Amino acid sequence: MIHINLLPDEYRKRTRMPVKRMAAIAGIVALNASLLAFLGQLHFAVTSEVEGILDGHQVNMDGLKPQVAYHDALATEIELFSSREQTLSDITKNRVLWTRKMDELIDVVNAGNDVDHFVWFDDATARIQQARRGRSSKNFGSFEANGHSGSDKWDRMANFLDDVVDRDLTTFIDDFDTLNRPQGRKNDTDKDLIPAVNWVFPLKLTLRSPDERLALREKEEKSK
């Protein structure tokens, strides 16, 4: 059945929203408001906590910056010191005490006592070959001298060369790797000279590597 209300608007009953719907809407609004309030509080609380942590880290960083700068300065100084130490080590490793070598050679010369050999020298030349960076070389230096054997006998010169490499007699040969083969030339007899006859011969020795020379020096120092 269809009902038609013919009363004017002012006499009609106004329709009201159901209470349940109003309660539901109010509940949703309250829930949203609570959620927004919670999210806002959470945001500000987290922001405040993060800012506090950030400030703490910033304080720590400000305190560490001088230490980091000091550490960097020490690292630079250590690197410079290591470079100097390496340079000094290379110099020490490559050095040869030539005055000591000459004294040892003189001792060998004097050891002949004019019996086994009678030798003197015109000159002596010592060279150290500096290794170039990035290049390997077997030539580490040399010692050369022009000698005379004051006898007409060939074996006197050979005796001297044997004494040069005799480690029981001298340590002269320790820094050297090889010695040239015996060779020489007999000068013409000159009765105005003493001795009247002599042999001219070269003395040529090649140096050991710096590592070998350093190892021998360290071994010698430990044995003392």
| pLDDT tier, 188 (very low <50, low <70, confident <90, very high otherwise) | confident
Report helix angle 98-111 to 154-164, nearest 10: 140
Average pLDDT of the chain is 80
* Locus of tokens 């013919």: 6
Judge whether 151 lies within some domain: yes
SS3 assignment for 121-178:
EEEEEEEECCCCCCCCCCCCEEEEEEEEECCCCHHHHHHHHHHHCCCCCCCHHHHEEE
What Å distances lie between residue 219 and 108, 175, 222, 224, CA to CA? 23, 13, 5, 9
| pLDDT reported for residue 73 | 86
Judge whether 4 lies within some domain: no
Each residue's pLDDT tens digit, 94-111: 678 889 999 999 999 998
Mean pLDDT of 24-40: 76
Judge whether 219 lies within some domain: yes
Distance, CA of 11 to CA of 57 (rounded, Å):
75
State the Rg of the chain over Cα.
Answer: 50
What is the residue range of 208's domain? 98-223
Number of domains in the chain: 1
Judge whether 107 lies within some domain: yes
Each residue's pLDDT tens digit, 190-211: 777 677 778 899 999 999 888 8
pTM above 0.75, yes or no: no
| pLDDT reported for residue 13 | 57
